[in-house]
Structure formats: structure tokens, C-alpha cells
Amino acid sequence: MSKIDDRELTSRVKTLAKALSSEPATTVIKLLEDLKKDPAPTEEQLRNTKAGVTVGRIRSHQNRDIARLATEIVSKWKKHVDSAKKKDATASPTPRTVASPAPVAAPAVGKPYEGDLEKRHFKTDKVDINRTSSKTRNATIGLFYNALALQNRESIEEVLARAVEVEAAAFSEFNGETEKYRTRARALFSSLRRKDNAKLRRRVLRGEVPASQFVVMTDKELASEEQRAKDEELQKENMKKAQVPMAEKSISDQLKCGKCGQKKVSYSQAQTRSADEPMTTFCECTVCGNRWKFS
């Protein structure tokens, strides 16, 4: 497939920009679909025509089909540029004497965030989250923006585009603004926002986990590696407890929960080691459910 020339690419991008302001969504979608089918432009073409900047901005469009197509086009272009760079580096391993070309403006829309990564918020980042006609959906986009932005330097445009994409996927998967949509959105936000879940945030933000896949992930898949390790340890402990004879649980007001501070603790004991070792006491707070053990 022959590559698209600068003139043709410039013409298509101008037509697309004009359609966004004056044509129905169906026309914009058709233009994007045609652009997606075209051969990916080179890094130099993206820089000269500024096509990437135009298409990149559309990734946060309120129409999810338009936003999705724009995201797919930018991803395709970025992969093409990266592939060309790797091929060029393999063919020319020695340093070049000419200056390196400027970075591609298209996929990397916007500048990396330079503020406090712990305090990123759509309000402090001055982001317009009103991408739909629904206050609930817009608020959900804001939640996802705040979660995805935490501890990440991706540009405002990048984070917003992904937040819009995730919300649209949840809206579609759970049949609109249903109770399940709202409950699931809060659960997804909580999982993304956990400071020990940075790996999940990065994978969703960079598109390694597609939005459609992310919104239906199980609790185990959403959990951080640290949390999974704790859950596995607890499961092993429960299996061990089930295999040894245990005394009937008793309630004690002498044991204090280290989590909520209450003295309403149920406990039982079991010989989990050799007979000459002390018994293991298994405790569970009847107020908050916190569990611990000691020998």
C-alpha cells in the first residue's frame, strides 16, 4: 500500500476539522474511518501537517464512537512511527551526524504534567469534564480523570481522553445510568485510586488494558499485586485452620482490635505447630471484621 502524501493528508485533516464544527456525527465518523484505512503517515508528515494534533484532540470528544476512532488512529500512527524508528536504528547502529528529528506531535498530545503528581485533580488541572449532557456521566468522567492522573505525568489531554473512553465503556456495558453503572464506577475508581495499584493505573492510562476490558475486570484482576499476596496468604491460613481441630470461638473483652480499638473480639485456638510449641490464637473483631493471630 503506497503512503499518503502531505497534500492529501492536509486536505483530509482540514475536511475533518470543518466537519467537526458543522457536520453531523455520521459524517465525522465516516471521515475518521477513511483516515484509519489510509496508510499511516511518517513522523515527518505528522510534524509538517500537524495531523496528529487535530486527531489527538478528538479523542476526548463527547461522542464515544468519534472518540474511539480518533484513539485508534493515533495508536496506529504511533505504532508506525515507533516501528520505523526501531527499523532505522537497526539499519544504522552508528550515531548520525545530522540532528535528530523533533518528536512526533501527534501521539504525544499536550505537554507532560509538571505539577504535584499527588494532587492532580480535574479542577486543579482546569479540565472541562462536561463531555455529555448528563451531570452523572460528567461527574464519573471527573472521577476517572482524578484516579488515572494520580502519580502520572501524562498530559491533561491524554488523561481526559482515557477517562472519557472508560466512562463510555461503562455506560455501554451497564446499559446507561443504572444502579449497576454507578456502583461499578465507584468500584473502578477505588481500585484505580489505590496508591499501591500504580501498575493498573499505568496500564489503563496507556491503553494496554482496553477500556471495554477494564470495566468488566473481576475484583481479583483489579487488585494490586500486594493485595493479591495478602488474599492468598489469608486463603492459605483459612485452609490450615480448617485442617486442624479448633476450640469453639469465645468472646473476650481483654483483647483489643488494633484497627478500630474495640474490645469485642472473638477468638479460638489451635495447635498449628509441634506439641511443645504454644498454641496459635486466631482473633476476629466482631465490630469491624479485622482478623489477626498470635502465638
Q: Kindly list the domain boundaries of the chain, sorted by start residue.
A: 6-91, 117-222, 244-294
Class of domain 6-91: mainly alpha
Cβ atoms 78, 104 nearer than 8 A: yes
Instruction: Give the span between the Cα atoms of 170 and 136, in whole angstroms.
Output: 13
Q: Which three cell numbers stand for residue 82?
A: 515507533
- Quickly count helices (H) and strands (E) in the chain: 12, 4
Instruction: Give the span between the Cα atoms of 235 and 42, in whole angstroms.
Output: 53
What is residue 270's DSSP assignment?
Answer: E
Q: What CATH code is assigned to 244-294?
A: 2.20.25.10
Phi, psi for residue 279 in degrees, rounded to 5: -70, 155
Q: What is the pLDDT of residue 243?
A: 58
Note down pLDDT in tens along the chain; length 295 residues.
457 788 888 888 888 888 887 888 899 899 999 888 888 888 888 888 888 888 888 887 888 889 888 888 888 888 888 888 877 766 655 444 333 333 333 333 567 877 888 888 999 889 899 988 899 999 999 999 999 998 888 888 889 999 999 999 999 999 999 999 999 999 999 999 888 888 998 899 888 889 999 999 988 888 887 877 777 777 777 666 665 555 567 788 888 888 888 888 998 887 776 667 788 888 898 888 888 888 7
224 CB-contact burial (10 Å; exposed 0-12 / middle 13-18 / buried 19+): middle
Indicate the pTM of the whole model: 0.47
Q: Which residue has the cell 471495554?
A: 212
